[in-house]
Amino acid sequence: MEKIALLEHAIKRFTTIGSKKFTLDELASELQVSKKTIYKHFLNKEDLVAESVTHMLEEVRTKLNEKIDDDNLDSLQKVIWIYKICFEYLKDFKPTFIVGLKKHYQKADTVFESFRFNFVRQFVYYLLIDAQKKDIIRDDVNIDLVSRLFFHNVDNITFQSENLFNTYSTNILLEHLIINSLRGIVVNDYNIEY
């Protein structure tokens, strides 16, 4: 069994069941391999969890970079795409996944939190700054506060016990949480298209 196949199956199960709750015995059974095969690639479960989170985030990062590097999109369209891509991943996360990382898998939690803050929040912040410099966002808007509110709101809809992705579609959440918020800060003649 290839390591990538193990990582992809493991992260799918960790995010939907919980990193602590889903066991190596269950992983081995589902993949029809021995635990020895798993241990051939990973020292322990913590390494598997950390590497599977890293693998998933690399996939997300690649997709985000494609949109961020797209010269056909303006800064606000890139912000919308960042959230759209992230929402596609987050919709399947169970709160127990994040709790499990924080509580039991410090290495994986550090990787996840670093990605959330350094990659997503900072990219959103700098894209909003760029949009303001290009007169897409009004001058009176506090970009730091807006980016923090976006970041905080996403945490609230995905990492709490009531995951709104269970009730609403990704597009509805994107429209109400991100796009409607952006409409409130853009200059009057800017039309948000994505």
DSSP state string for the chain: --HHHHHHHHHHHHHHH-TTTS-HHHHHHHHT--HHHHHHH-SSHHHHHHHHHHHHHHHHHHHHHHHHT-TTS-HHHHHHHHHHHHHHHHTT--HHHHHHHHHH-HHHHHHHHHIIIIIIIHHHHHHHHHHHHTTSB-TT--HHHHHHHHHHHHHHHHSSSS-GGGTS-HHHHIIIIIIHHHHTTB-TT-----
Q: pLDDT tens digits, the chain, 194 residues: what are they? A: 799 999 999 999 999 999 999 999 999 999 999 999 999 999 999 999 999 999 999 999 999 999 999 999 999 999 999 999 999 988 888 878 888 999 999 999 999 989 988 877 788 999 999 999 999 999 999 999 988 887 767 766 666 667 788 888 989 989 998 899 899 999 999 988 77
CA-nearest of 26, 19, 13, 182 to 112 is 19
pTM of the predicted structure, to 2 decimals: 0.88
Beta-bridge partner residues of 137 = 186
| Residues 105 and 50 sit within 8 Å (Cβ to Cβ) | yes
Tokens of 187: 């200059």
